[in-house]
């Protein structure tokens, strides 16, 4: 690790900054007061933990578009609520006959972060749980619950892709979005299957 | 009864109802993957509504920060657990094909093994 | 009793029923994975119980307890499911 610091101290610092910031925020939240001493202590503890755990340095290449993020958050909240209500309905109405489907959804982004965030969000909403992720081909396999017909399968696939699109536009860099648009043209016909 | 009390009085029972319905699903659904759905989603909504209800009873906004932290943990933990459990369940062959309309993962695995791709089992 | 008290009572009763049902599934299984799900659900219910207590007293003392339960209720089942995964690989 020391050699890394010598080689590129600024780069190393910049790479670990988001994690340390995040850990410090949690520390401050847990203490419950915004005193300057608390923040400094939190930063020290976070850096020590980071150094001791030898966590991998992940280059974060994300952009943050507040309006898009707001739209994404509201979409996810709404989706979470509706999918809960749908699952709840099936719980009360003939749960023995409910059927699901495992659907293959080709993803159009190539960024690790976007893929991770999208699959997490998918597991949370739209009545789906991601059960397998093929990183090299960029394909996720999603299990959706109240699915009775091929039409519902198509709808689940469409919803998954909409979620991905929202994430790409909310957090992706401009390169990510450009690549995304390019890929989207190529795979849109697949959706017709 | 202040306005905050009313908000709590509505949010908490509704949240508990969501949790309860999810748990009834956990008891009544026939397959593991469907039970996973029932246990995770309504439960998340339920606990977040209850936490929001509790937040309205606290003296100030600062002391409610740990509640937000708990909600955040829930948002992180549900997908992680769901993904891990789903993968384990599938690899153990507990996906119960008779309850699936389509299983495209099985088709993909079959293709990957180089076997003759069969018709997807629909219906 | 005010409406708020009724609300707390209703919440408490529903959550208790929830714990009872979860315990039923926990005992019945049938697989380890079901039991892991139940453990997580019970931890979430515990957090909800503590939330009622916090709201009832308007007291912030228990907030740390909530964070702890939430973390343990996540990490425990996660580790258990990782072990279950490894065992599945060994067998297959």
Touching check for C64 and chain A: CB below 8 Å?
yes
Chains contacting chain C through 3 or more C-beta pairs under 8 A: A, B
pLDDT exceeds cutoff 50 at A14: yes
Residue of B nearest to A102 (CA): B103
Which secondary-structure segment (H or E) carries A79?
A: helix A66-92
Q: Kindly state the average pLDDT of the residues A168-188.
A: 70
Q: Which residue has the higher pLDDT, C84 or C52?
A: C52
C62 contact partners, CB below 8 Å, separation of at least 6? C50, C53, C54
Query: pLDDT at position A12, please?
Result: 64
Domain boundaries, chain B: 3-92, 97-123
* Global ipTM: 0.84
Q: Do A124 and B41 touch (CB under 8 A)?
A: yes
Q: Which residue of B21, B37, B86 is in closest CB contact with A127?
A: B37
Angstrom distance (rounded) from CA A135 to CA C6: 51
Same domain as A24, residue A78: no
Q: Looking at beta carbons, which residues of chain B come within 8 Å of C89?
A: 91
Q: Which of B22, B41, B87 sits opposite A132 (nearest CB)?
A: B87
Give yes or no: residues A23 and A89 share one domain: no
CA-nearest of A126, C43, A84 to B45 is A84
Chain C partners within 8 Å of B17 (Cβ): 14
Hey, is the C-beta of C14 within 8 angstroms of any chain A C-beta? Answer: no
Element containing residue C43 per DSSP (H, E): helix C32-57
Q: Which residues pair with A139 in a beta bridge?
A: A106, A134
- Judge if A33 and A73 occupy the same domain: no
Indicate whether A142 belongs to any domain: yes
In a domain, A47, yes or no: yes
Domain that holds residue A187: 66-192
Instruction: Specify the pLDDT at position C89.
Output: 61
* Residue pLDDT, tens place only, B3-36: 888 888 889 999 999 899 889 888 888 888 888 8
Residues A105 and A162 in one domain: yes
A71 & A164 share domain: yes
- The pLDDT score that the predictor gives to residue A3 is 46
Chain A interface includes B82 (CB < 8 A): yes
Rounded CA separation A20/A112 (Å): 20
A48 and A16 in a common domain? yes
The answer as to whether A60 is a domain residue is: no
Are A83 and A151 part of one and the same domain? yes
Q: How far apart are CA A105 and CA A126, in angstroms?
A: 14
Residues 6+ away with beta carbon under 8 Å from A160: A103, A105, A122, A126, A128, A140, A142
């Amino acid at each position: 690790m020391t050699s890394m610091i010598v080689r590129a101290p600024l780069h190393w610092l910049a790479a670990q900054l988001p994690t340390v910031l995040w850990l410090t925020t949690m520390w401050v939240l847990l203490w419950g007061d915004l005193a300057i001493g608390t923040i400094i202590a939190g930063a020290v503890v976070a850096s020590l933990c980071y150094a001791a755990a030898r966590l991998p340095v992940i280059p974060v290449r994300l952009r943050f578009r507040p309006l898009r993020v707001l739209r994404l958050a509201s979409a996810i909240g709404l989706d979470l609520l509706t999918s809960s209500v749908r699952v709840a309905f099936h719980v009360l109405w003939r749960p023995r006959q409910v059927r699901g489907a495992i659907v293959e959804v080709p993803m159009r982004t190539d960024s690790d972060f976007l893929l991770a965030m999208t699959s997490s969000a998918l597991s949370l909403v739209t009545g789906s749980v991601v059960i397998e992720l093929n990183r090299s081909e960029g394909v996720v396999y999603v299990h959706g619950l109240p699915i009775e017909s091929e039409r519902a399968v198509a709808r689940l696939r469409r919803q998954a892709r909409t979620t991905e699109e929202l994430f790409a536009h909310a957090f992706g860099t401009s390169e990510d979005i450009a690549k995304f648009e390019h890929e989207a043209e190529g795979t849109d016909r697949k959706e017709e299957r | 009864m202040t306005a905050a009390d009313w908000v709590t009085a509505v949010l908490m029972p509704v949240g508990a109802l969501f949790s309860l319905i999810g748990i009834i699903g956990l008891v009544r659904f026939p397959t593991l993957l469907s039970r996973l759905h029932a246990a995770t989603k309504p439960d998340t909504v339920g606990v977040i509504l209850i936490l929001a209800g509790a937040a309205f009873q606290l003296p100030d906004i600062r002391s409610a920060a740990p509640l937000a932290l708990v909600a955040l943990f829930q948002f992180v933990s549900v997908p992680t657990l769901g993904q891990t459990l789903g993968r384990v369940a599938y690899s153990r062959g507990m996906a119960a094909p008779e309850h699936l309309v389509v299983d495209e993962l099985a088709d993909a695995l079959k293709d990957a093994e180089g076997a003759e791709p069969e018709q997807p089992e629909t219906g | 009793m005010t409406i708020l008290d009724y609300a707390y009572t209703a919440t408490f009763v529903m959550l208790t029923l929830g714990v009872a049902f979860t315990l039923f599934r926990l005992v019945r299984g049938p697989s380890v994975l079901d039991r892991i799900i139940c453990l997580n659900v019970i931890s979430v219910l515990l957090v909800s119980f503590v939330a009622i207590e916090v709201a009832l007293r308007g007291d912030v003392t228990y907030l740390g307890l909530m964070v702890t339960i939430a973390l343990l209720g996540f990490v425990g089942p996660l580790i258990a499911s990782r072990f279950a995964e490894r065992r599945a690989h060994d067998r297959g």
